[in-house]
Structure 1
């Protein structure tokens, strides 16, 4: 698989224009710090961008099957796929693990998608989805591992730069790497640094960088429902090879504290995956982890302009 290119993101921007909510970037109240409020996007996460790009591209090319689109997703990507399919008036079937939050399952059904629950992990839902593709001829989408999905996510970065053209650094949480691949590709094109933040026990991209190839990792984090990929995509690893990319690991305690900080100080209610990005720059450094690595936050230089991507807010308010 070749790497993602900036022209791919430009094409995605044109394809989804008017189909997604424009990015809102807000000052965080600290010098040089901004929040990208992507949790206000349709379906509550950035995933709407990739889903729109994927479906619209296939419709335009005449390659959309009668059986519709299908996806295996822990929740957010499935919501985006179901929503984009409803907008396009095409069928969608979504496969999820039984551990998916009930709020996401209920919303999926509200979008008119057929929902199939099975297995406790994403890999099991993915296997069931593949069987469905083979038996029905449905178009297989993916939560993050597809160039059209990653390119759609990357449009977020072009909108951030339109509002903060002199941005130095963008900070993004990472699961399988679709959002990261898109953002880092666009950021690198414009000479902007990307800080990739992962939970210490969901470190798919960090491990891939270390091994110089995608490898399986354990998944154990408070943010695992959105960031719990067992391995990063080749697209993400390719994007991470830029000198402008920094990989950061954070503890679950740091994630929970960052999420609480967003609520207490800004009245922003987001899911743990979104708070993971802020945890990467919130000063939670020097915490040891079990295998000897040190969890260190990214420390901006004086005068550095930093934008933290708050990528989603699909959770129960009772969990806040």
Structure 2
């Protein structure tokens, strides 16, 4: 496999992981119901196994090689950890998941419910990542990175493969960005297609926007409402090579817009999206990205691992 995925690698990933993941549905919403000038198409990855898109990359990484007796190890703000734990249980191997202190109770509980050993420590994701790497060196467990491995990017790219098949008329796709595995895989699939892939990040976690400004992945601030899922310290090198050439635009949204998007998804569709899962929609609501005339817009709702009462209460 090349250093970052192409369509052939993504198709192979789709075939490999098909027995283990869900082909998530689309929901078409009228713009009038959302206070928007155009209709939109939502890709509901919050309905994916374990509550986010993450099992796609986790399964592809784990099914691409022989798994060691020590099992697998991962660091995560929560969603990737749940996905790795879910995949490990499905494949009959042990999993050890490192999360930072900011990871919420719902995500911690889900990881443990899938049978993984949970280790909590460090203020943010980067500290958990360093601890997991040290532990992997001790045990020989396979590291399943949250976003910076070719197999992970190819697995996440299967979201775009499905979306293009089910909504072939889209001109733009909005994707929330943290470490960049999802948007990196999706941009790789859409490369050369004419579809504009738009990155949306919280103002408190401007990871890709900072990297694009500096011309390389560099550390960025981590904070705000969606930091548990979008709070990588810097984007992955593999995704940056894709994003630099194939992400049409990178925009930032305030926490207030993310919260408004969560509420709107609940009111309009009874969808409970976590803050990171609602971030892409927030760009439309607050005007951080304005669709050009005639645009057909798809929006990724990428995760739903939160306390339902925090959205629906």
Class of the TM-score when normalised by the shorter of the 2 chains: over 0.9
C-alpha deviation, 1:238, in angstroms: 1.4
1:49 corresponds to 2:56: yes
For residues 32 and 264 of structure 1, the distance between their equivalents in structure 2, rounded to whole angstroms, comes to 16
C-alpha deviation, 1:243, in angstroms: 5.5
Question: Structure 2: any 5+ residue segments left out of the alignment?
Answer: 32-37
For residues 237 and 119 of structure 2, the distance between their equivalents in structure 1, rounded to whole angstroms, comes to 28
For the Cα contact (< 8 Å) 1:171–1:197, is it kept in 2? Answer: yes
The residue that corresponds to 1:164 in the other structure is 167
For residues 14 and 39 of structure 2, the distance between their equivalents in structure 1, rounded to whole angstroms, comes to 27
C-alpha deviation, 1:110, in angstroms: 1.2
User: Within 5 Å, which residues of 2 pair with 1:107-146?
Assistant: 107-146=110-149
For the Cα contact (< 8 Å) 2:258–2:279, is it kept in 1? Answer: yes
SS of 2:198's partner is strand
User: Within 5 Å, which residues of 2 pair with 1:1-320?
Assistant: 2-30=3-31, 31-58=38-65, 62=66, 64-242=67-245, 245-282=248-285, 284-285=286-287, 297-320=288-311
For the Cα contact (< 8 Å) 2:136–2:142, is it kept in 1? Answer: yes
SS of 1:127's partner is helix
For the Cα contact (< 8 Å) 2:188–2:246, is it kept in 1? Answer: no
For residues 114 and 183 of structure 1, the distance between their equivalents in structure 2, rounded to whole angstroms, comes to 31
For residues 54 and 134 of structure 1, the distance between their equivalents in structure 2, rounded to whole angstroms, comes to 18
For the Cα contact (< 8 Å) 1:192–1:244, is it kept in 2? Answer: no
C-alpha deviation, 1:36, in angstroms: 0.4
C-alpha deviation, 1:189, in angstroms: 4.0
C-alpha deviation, 1:99, in angstroms: 2.2
For the Cα contact (< 8 Å) 1:4–1:235, is it kept in 2? Answer: no
SS of 1:198's partner is strand
For the Cα contact (< 8 Å) 1:6–1:189, is it kept in 2? Answer: no
SS of 2:59's partner is helix
Question: Against the structure 1 CA distance between its residues 319 and 136, is the aligned structure 2 distance closer, same or farther, given a 3 Å change threshold?
Answer: same
In the comparison of the two structures, how many residue pairs are matched?
Answer: 304
Question: Structure 1: any 5+ residue segments left out of the alignment?
Answer: 286-296
TM-score (norm 2): 0.94
Runs of 4+ deviating beyond 3 Å: none
SS of 1:242's partner is helix
For the Cα contact (< 8 Å) 1:205–1:236, is it kept in 2? Answer: no
For residues 24 and 248 of structure 2, the distance between their equivalents in structure 1, rounded to whole angstroms, comes to 22
C-alpha deviation, 1:303, in angstroms: 2.4
SS of 1:281's partner is helix
SS of 1:280's partner is helix
**C-alpha deviations, 1:54-98, integer Å up to 9, x for none?**
11111xxx3x11000000111100000000010001111111112
For the Cα contact (< 8 Å) 2:3–2:150, is it kept in 1? Answer: no
- CA RMSD of the aligned region, Å? 1.4
Question: Against the structure 1 CA distance between its residues 273 and 236, is the aligned structure 2 distance closer, same or farther, given a 3 Å change threshold?
Answer: same
For residues 3 and 239 of structure 1, the distance between their equivalents in structure 2, rounded to whole angstroms, comes to 7
Deviates more, 1:11-20 or 1:176-185: 11-20
Deviates more, 1:202-211 or 1:97-106: 97-106
